[in-house]
Amino acid sequence: MGKIYAIANQKGGVGKTTTSVNLAASLAATRKKVLLVDLDPQGNATMGSGIDKNDQEFTIYDVLVGLTRVDNTLQLSSAGHFYVLPANGDLTAAEVEMLTMDSKEYRLSKALASVRSQFDYIIIDCPPSLNMLTVNGLTACDGVIIPMQCEYYALEGLSALVNTINTIQSVLNPNLKIEGLLRTMYDPRNSLTGDVSAQLSSHFGDRLYRTCIPRNVRLAEAPSFGLPVLAYDKQSKGSLAYIALAGEIIRRNEAAVPVAEVTAN
């Protein structure tokens, strides 16, 4: 059974979509079968994977409102070697339409159940706000990966996000947990970065990933070419950091699998 992770943060500009695309590509590079779900109407994860968001017969909008199935909608990212459930501006309408549907918070969860066994990892790129789309992402996943910058206001936003996750866990998804916190746009020369990192480590312990994603020009350039950074410049610091993150996530998962299950496989 594949693991499902939502990449979420109510604060925009923290590297959420960058993390979604590049983590998907890095996991795929380790020969894992990966699905990236674009749950943001901006469709940036779709475009960043080399798929034209405006040239799709079906998108995640059609899946959420029940017009088609996930397996009719999947697109292969030839650049990243992972599958994408694409999104575009149509997705904005889905949020309104879902409000009148039964089990509206579980639309994505039910849709992904049909393909979950086909993938090792499913990564959900959530929009940068708490709306019905984000609720669907958090209800469908096993754990949340929170990308954040090491700055003062990021800590304020993190507190609100943790409260949101706890609420959804208690009401909609009892299995939901914070899988890990990822420091993005990391600059060790900044003293505030060190202070915030220390606070995160003290509060979250081993849920804080050791891997930090640095500020990196190649990482910033790659989306404009419709490429994960691994396909754009695999030797760049950004690429190497996401490969390291993928390795850290895989090791955590393998350590969490019961011995009997490992033996059975």
Residue 23: CATH number of its domain:
3.40.50.300
- Sheet with 121-125: list strands edge to edge: 75-77, 82-85, 34-38, 121-125, 3-7, 143-149, 177-186, 208-214
Domain count, the chain: 1
The pLDDT value given to residue 259: 47
Cα torsion 85, 90, 91, 95 to 10°: value is -150
Note the Cα 198 to chain centre separation in Å. Answer: 24
Model pLDDT, residue 264: 43
Query: Is pLDDT above 60 for 205?
Result: yes
* Contacts of residue 156, Cβ cutoff 8 Å, sequence gap at least 6: none
Calculated CA dihedral for residues 97, 102, 105, 106, nearest 10 degrees? -120
* Structure token digits, residue 234: 């695999």
Domain coverage including residue 230:
3-264
| Residue 89 pLDDT greater than 70, yes or no | yes
Mean pLDDT of the chain: 92
- pLDDT range class, residue 124, cuts 50, 70, 90: very high
User: For residue range 37-76, what is the model confidence (pLDDT) as tens digits?
Assistant: 999 999 999 999 999 999 999 999 999 999 999 999 999 9
Q: What is the mean pLDDT of residues 123-151?
A: 93
